[in-house]
Amino acid sequence: MQSLFRLPGPTPLPPPVLAAMQRPMIPHRGIEFRSFYRDLLDRLRRIHRTDGDVLLWPGSGSAGWEIAIANLINQGEPVLIGVCGDFGDRFARVATLLGANVRRLDVPWGRAITPEMLRDGLEQHPDVVAVLLTHNETSTGVTNPLKELASVVRSHGALVIVDAVSSAAGLPLEVDEWGLDFVLSGSQKAWMCPPGVVIIAVGERFWAAQGRCTNSKYFWSLADARDAALNGSTPTTPPLSTLYALDAAARMIESESLEEVWQRHQDVGSRTRDGLENMGLELFADQAYASNTVTAFYPPSRGSAKPIVDAVYQEHGVTIAGGQGHLADAILRIGHMGWVNLEDIDACLEALALTLSKRSNCSSM
């Protein structure tokens, strides 16, 4: 399957997903769509490990942040957000923009939010109604210990709102067992689909909480989406081709089995980290929380990242990413989520090694 496209999203599209997008349009209020949509939502429920609701919108991951706040947090209500990278920071900005009273729990980028830190944060801010967490911080390659964090939030009584954009369908994620109230992800990551669909899973506590939320909303109303989904429908025109893609991807995940998918991500994650360290490169993230969907590392001698991104593409056709925010030129990132296997990682690492050795030969001349 070898792909040279190793961005941490969007990710390579497997042939069944590409083929599914060739399907002709059908009436989205017709009988065929109703059974297709119900079946798709059932698959997504199984992959999220939930008996609750899974609902879909046209949109990217960022829309999920807005959907969470719009449906749950009244103007001025206090929320606590764990920020350990660029996406946590953006989530905090969105919540602030939409009127939440945002309290931040910041940790240095590259580190994880630990249960102890969260417990302290909740002691300092006992009035918060929700805690916003990034499961996998794509900008730093850190996976926060979500199960343990959710348990701390649950004992406090606040809602658990999770950005699972770069973890869902790649890393273990147990919506019901871990007591997650709202989980958002985007089609272009481990779901192996083109960008364009935001996927939301919600539990029972969500429905109780959203009933007391007075924010105006039309497009992002979860209650409307649930009512429509009960009839196998969507409130507005669904992004049909991307839903076909998502259906094909969900079938692939189920036929491989979710546990095997998680194991494959663990294998490619280890292979990437070992390979980089064998090349003498320094990993960026706290390795106790290393992500199995994206790895961040420093360029040799902590030099500039951007020229390496360009060179490995120009010389070998391999796409990797630089950093984000203040780390834009300081770190490199290799995405390994979705449709990826060990050979893909080996090919990427080989190209990177050749590029780096050429650069070091040139600079020593």
CB of residue 87 to ligand PLP, shortest distance in Å: 4
> How near is the Cβ of 167 to ligand PLP at its closest, in Å?
8
Q: Does 9 bind ligand PLP (CB under 6 A)?
A: yes
* Nearest residue to ligand PLP on Cβ basis: 61
**Least distance CB 303 / ligand PLP (angstroms):** 25
- Residue 333: closest CA among 325, 342, 322, 344: 322
Give the other-Cβ count within 10 Å of 6's Cβ: 28
Cα 192 to chain centroid, rounded: 12
Report how far residue 363's alpha carbon sits from residue 357's, in angstroms, rounded to the nearest whole number. Answer: 10
Judged by CB under 6 A, how many residues of this single chain contact ligand PLP? 11
Tell me how far apart the alpha carbons of residues 351 and 356 are, in angstroms, rounded to a whole number.
9
Q: Does 66 bind ligand PLP (CB under 6 A)?
A: no
Taking CB under 6 A as the criterion, which residues in 179-238 touch ligand PLP? 186
**Which region among 143-151, 158-166, 200-208, 325-333 touches ligand PLP (by CB under 6 A)?**
158-166
Q: Please tell me whether residue 263 binds ligand PLP under the rule CB under 6 A.
A: no
Determine phi and psi for 54, rounding to 5 degrees.
-120, 130
- Euclidean distance between CA atoms 85 and 83, whole angstroms: 6
| Residue from 49, 62, 233, 270 binding ligand PLP (CB under 6 A) | 62
User: Smallest gap, in angstroms, from Cβ of residue 188 to ligand PLP?
Assistant: 6
- Residues 211, 45: Cα–Cα separation, whole Å: 22
By C-beta, is 179 or 195 nearer to ligand PLP?
A: 195
Paired with 142 in beta bridges are 137, 290
Give me the sheet containing 321-322, strands edge to edge.
Answer: 294-297, 332-335, 321-322
Amino acid at 24: P
- Pick the closest to residue 253 from 3, 44, 12 (CA basis): 44
Interface residue with ligand PLP, options 61, 141, 232, 338 (CB under 6 A): 61
Measured in whole angstroms, how far is the alpha carbon of residue 281 from the centre of its chain?
Answer: 26
The token duo for 141 is: 């390659």
- Between residues 14 and 59, which has the closer beta carbon with respect to ligand PLP? 59
C-beta closer to ligand PLP: residue 321 or 356: 321
Rounded to a whole number of angstroms, the minimum distance from the CB of residue 91 to ligand PLP is: 7
Closest CA to 297 of 135, 170, 110, 166: 110
Check residue 138 for interaction with ligand PLP (CB under 6 A). yes
By the rule CB under 6 A, 163 interacts with ligand PLP:
yes
Q: Which listed residue (92, 150, 165, 351) binds ligand PLP by CB under 6 A?
A: 165
Would you call 51 exposed, middle or buried from its count of C-beta atoms within 10 A (0-12, 13-18, 19+)? Answer: exposed
Residue 55 Cβ vs ligand PLP, minimum distance, rounded to whole Å = 17
Closest distance to ligand PLP from the beta carbon of 65 (Å): 7
Q: Which spans of this chain sit near ligand PLP (rule: CB under 6 A)?
A: 9, 60-62, 87, 134, 138, 163, 165-166, 186
